Amino acid sequence: MGSLTGHLLLSNASLFDLNFRRTVVLIGHHDEEGAVGVVLNRPFDVTVDEAVPPLAELVREGEALFHGGPVQPEAAVVVADFQDPSEVGVVAFDSIGFLAEEADRVDLGTIRRARVFAGYSGWGPGQLEAELEEEAWIVTPARREDVFHDEPERLWDTVLRRLGPGYAILRTMPFDPSAN
């Protein structure tokens, strides 16, 4: 399997882990040592300026803080669209990347848009590949509009629609299929 860096993982019907049920994860880095990404479609009811004031200048005023995943939820992860990708700590695709820890040295003028995530999603060596063999995830290339979707809560449905009618049943399934 090749690298899934720059791809989206959409949770499939067989994935019941509540951390990832109906999520869209952007993979920022994937190699033989594992994978790291952030959940794109779980905004909190708190803004970045309320939760992480030092990072407020990176995002639009009133922008929500997002739940990036279950790993290190106290850590802030920034995903941005850069005018100059050489400023990126980790490039996911095109000009989209994860801000390096030395973010205070980045010229804010090179950031077109950013989102801040509490925590991240991570997989150890072979773990993501095993989940893919179990069909827990649907994989598709990421697009810039996915990362900064105006209605993040609808992103899972939006991407499934884009993938075609073969995913209509999955889109209409209840969150908890046992309640059906």
Within-domain flag for 2: no
Within-domain flag for 138: yes
Q: Is 135 helix (H, G, I), strand (E, B) or coil?
A: coil
Within-domain flag for 1: no
Alpha carbon distance 42, 92 (integer Å): 19
Residue-wise pLDDT for 122-168, tens only, equals 999 999 999 999 999 999 999 999 999 999 999 999 999 999 999 99
Alpha carbon distance 124, 44 (integer Å): 27
CA–CA distance from 141 to each of 5, 36, 56 (Å)? 9, 16, 29
Residue 89's pLDDT is 76
Residue-wise pLDDT for 17-27, tens only, equals 999 999 999 99
Within-domain flag for 50: yes
CB 26, CB 124: distance < 8 Å: no
Instruction: Quote the domain boundaries for residue 20.
Output: 7-179
